[in-house]
Amino acid sequence: MPITEKRFPISIRFSALLAGFVGIVACLFFDWVLVTNSARSALVIAGQGEFFNLFTFASQPESAAIQAFLTAFTVLSVAAVVMLLASLVLLLIRQFTISKLQTVLMNTGFSIIMALSLVFIIFAASVNDPAILKTTLVPPITFTIALIAMVCASKGSRDAVKHDWQLYILLLPAVALVFVFTYLPMYGIQIAFRDFKAAFGIAGSEWVGLKNFTDFFASYYSTRLILNTLLLNLYGLLWAFPFPIVMALFLYHLPWRRFKRFTQTVIYAPHFISPVVLVGILFLLLSPTTGLVNRLIESLGGTSISFMLEISWFRSIFIASDIWQHAGWNTILYIAALTAIDPALYEAAKIDGATKLQTIRHIDIPHMMPVIIMLLILNCGAMLASNTDKALLMQTDPNIPVSDIIGVYVYRMGIRGGQFSYTAAINLLVNVINFALILTVNWVARRTKQASLF
């Protein structure tokens, strides 16, 4: 399909431009008011005069750090505004298209400004001044609006919308739902830096900076929570990881087709059992008075064990039941890798007189290696993730010292205990670490030339 040469009417372009411009002016005004206010209060506290503006404030020796910050910030704001004006001028030129050079310039500029803004935001958060924090948001917002305005008004975009509007409509529901349930809550992350009180709302609660984070690290629970989460994942990886590999190898070499099919059906099935039911089964089978396992132990002359209450059994049961439930399911990727092997290799091995074990050792395992390494790396990226669903169900009062992982703690103290800000801070910390881990791990996967996630 050729892309049509018709363009959007000038009125639409102009109104888009106007909207962008109004947005920028509003941002700048907002910026000016906040900077002035925060500067005034800072100077009043410092015993300085009342009359000043943005630039003179930057020259007041109030605090070296704040001064440097504001100077850099001003430069950044000016850069953003210049960028914006340039884009507005460009937009007014007819038949504007984004060239390769412009794209590169925009991307680099955008990355630099975003990175600097992030540094500023962190700095502002540590100063414990919400006004300064808000002003730091201005350059990235200005910049983003400028970019969107440029991209939207360029010729290619208008043609694309005209040509592919149905695709955008098909995408819309998914984009909207993800926005409401994933992106919108990110606005609420700020309560991690506030002392959240329901009466004041998210934006109205008192700003406390990094207090929630320092509180967490100062508390007795921080080490325990992180260690519990980490160890549960680490032991889980060590024990559970080899099972699907071995199972896939042996499944693949079963010569009876119908039996193989049946086996596949059965070993996938436990994956679909709900965590409530799984943990329910554990409680019933392992109960010291009525459970089958303890009846068996007693009939063999042992004494019954309160499996679900004892600290020493929690991780073993958690991991063993995970293996029982998911090992079969996790063979899928390995089997897919095995089916991709060229059958000629097996025949050649056969002619050379290889036994099945030798085939496994010299053909199958090398072919599975990329998948094994990819999954191993991925698992390493999830070392601080919490299987909250299951751990919460398996938690009993006596086993709290080991069953308290981060997800469970956040639920218990946050949703149940109402300590929203404190738990939001813990959650944010872990999410950021997890995100960084996944990026690192993906980078490693790319470097080692294995398949990467994105």
Partner 1 sequence: MEATFQSSKKNVARTTSDKVFDFANLFVWIVILLLIVFPLWYIVVASFSSAEAIFSGRAILWPVDFSLIGYEAVFQHVLLLRSYFNSIVYTVTGTTLSVMVTMMAAYALTRKFKGKKTVNLYFIFAMFFTGGLIPQFLMNQSLGLYNTITIMIIINCVSVWNLMIARTYISTSVPDELYEAAMLDGANHFTYFFKVVLPLSKTIIAVMFIYYGVARWNDYFTALVYIRDESLLPLQTVLRQIIAMAQAGSSLDSFMGFFGDGRAISDAIRRAEVVKYCCIVVATVPVIILYVSMQRFFVQGVTVGSLKG
Q: Which residues are CB-contacts of 221 (< 8 A; sequence separation ≥ 6)?
A: 404, 409
Closer residue to partner 1, CB minimum distance, 40 or 253:
253
Closer residue to partner 1, CB minimum distance, 47 or 173:
173
User: Residue 51 Cβ, how far from partner 1 at the closest point, in Å?
Assistant: 40
CA distance 228 to 388: 12
Helix, strand, or coil (residue 189): helix
Closer residue to partner 1, CB minimum distance, 43 or 400:
400
CA distance 112 to 10: 33
Closer residue to partner 1, CB minimum distance, 187 or 443:
187
Closer residue to partner 1, CB minimum distance, 119 or 178:
178
Closer residue to partner 1, CB minimum distance, 83 or 371:
371
DSSP state of 4: P
Helix, strand, or coil (residue 207): strand
Token pair for residue 372? 């094994």
User: Residue 263 Cβ, how far from partner 1 at the closest point, in Å?
Assistant: 6
CA distance 239 to 222: 26
User: Residue 47 Cβ, how far from partner 1 at the closest point, in Å?
Assistant: 40
Nearest CA to 408 out of 329, 318, 287, 273 is that of 318
CA distance 118 to 25: 22
The answer to whether the beta carbons of residues 129 and 207 sit under 8 Å apart is yes
Q: Look up tokens 């325990």; give the residue.
A: 224
User: Residue 44 Cβ, how far from partner 1 at the closest point, in Å?
Assistant: 34
User: Residue 289 Cβ, how far from partner 1 at the closest point, in Å?
Assistant: 5
Closer residue to partner 1, CB minimum distance, 199 or 357:
357
CA terminus-to-terminus distance, the chain = 29
Q: Report in angstroms the alpha-carbon separations of 59 from 26, 52, 74, 159, 273.
A: 26, 10, 12, 49, 66
Q: Look up tokens 């209060």; give the residue.
A: 41
Q: Cite the beta strand spans of 39-104 per DSSP E.
A: none
User: Residue 165 Cβ, how far from partner 1 at the closest point, in Å?
Assistant: 9
User: Residue 272 Cβ, how far from partner 1 at the closest point, in Å?
Assistant: 5
